[in-house]
Structure 1
């Protein structure tokens, strides 16, 4: 799990079993940077109030009523990660 800036937007990149996912690098609760939290391979946990999100989908696990903003992304043939923040 790492944060990068794409077109002025902070993006959280997560590798889940070889699949790269891209999310807005902010917890929907209080806009805390998610890259300061934890990632156990399946769950992203915000360091501020311990909200949890499914790393594959961005769906909230605790609480289940929220989710992360997802950005489309792909990894090209040379391993470059492309993220669409539009």
Structure 2
């Protein structure tokens, strides 16, 4: 029984820690781009790019993003913001 509570407490701790940062992906068209913030909006969500953001399928960097492009964005949510970890063009 004692081990059961230890496992339960550790599991609860992991869930709480992981809920503050998660990774996911989203597809859609780029609605707007903010050059000065290094951000763009897809499906109403503002994504920020960082130096570690990867670009695929013909995209070489943030400057290659254009409004209206259909993209898939892999992202992490942390500190109340969405950070793009990978951006690739979709057909």
Under a length normalisation based on structure 2, what TM-score does the superposition of the two structures give? 0.28
The structure, 1 or 2, with the larger RCO (C-alpha pairs under 8 Å, 6+ apart) is 2
Report the structure, 1 or 2, having the larger helix content. 2
Under a length normalisation based on structure 1, what TM-score does the superposition of the two structures give? 0.29
Which of structures 1 and 2 has the bigger CA Rg? 2
